[in-house]
Amino acid sequence: MRERYTTGRMPTRRALITGITGQDGSYLAELLLDEGYEVFGPTRRLSASNYWRIQHILDRVTLIPGDLLDQLSLIRALEKSQPHEVYNLAAMSFVPAFWDQPMLTGECNSQGVTRVLEAERTKGKSGLMREEREELVRLRKENRELRMERDILKKASAIFAKYQP
């Protein structure tokens, strides 16, 4: 898929949001659209429409068939959208369903994540994982530096308190 260009701007970034029809997914879609992204969202086939949270942006997002329980549909969603970024926000989060359908909830919420990651790996999106790993390394380094600064301040405070009259 070719990069689309807008007047005097960088190529349009593409994002794939699983769970786009949910609360967090709809807010993220709106935010990314406002930042100039092209937004795609895989949606399950349902007997009743579940688009009320994204009704106001339906004309600006591309909905494609996809289900966390179907690995091939996720691979096809990645092929169609060619995203720069993938946000996995899909999950079964209706509490009564946890109790009524515990196996389905577990399958969707745990194995669904694995299927998204595997689809990304299959499509050669390992750069996504590398970026996340580099970010974790950076955060750990910052955390270590902050702990060192805190320890130095503690020692300085103890020394200062020792010499106070």
d(CA 83, CA 40): 8
Tokens read off for 99: 């109790």
Q: What is the largest CA-CA distance in the chain?
A: 78
Q: Which tokens sit at 50?
A: 């579940």
Residue 36 backbone zone (phi > 0: left; psi -120 to 50: alpha; other: beta): left
Q: Answer whether residue 6 shows pLDDT above 50.
A: no
Burial of 142: CB neighbours in 10 Å, binned 0-12, 13-18, 19+: exposed
Identify the pLDDT of residue 56.
95
> What is the distance between the alpha carbons of residues 35 and 29, in angstroms, rounded to a whole number?
10
pLDDT mean over 124-140: 57
Whether this model's pTM surpasses 0.75: no
The residue among 32, 34, 35 whose CA lies nearest residue 16 is 32
- Per-residue pLDDT of 37-55, as tens digits, reads 999 999 988 877 889 999 9
pLDDT at position 15 over 60? yes
Lowest mean pLDDT among 17-21, 42-46, 139-143: 139-143
- Residue 146 φ then ψ, to 5°: -65, -40
Res. 132: pLDDT tops 70: no
The HSE-up count of residue 124 (CA atoms within 13 Å, CB side) is 2
pLDDT digits (tens, 9 = 90+) for 98-124: 789 989 888 888 898 889 988 988 877
Cα(59)–Cα(52) distance, rounded to whole angstroms?
13
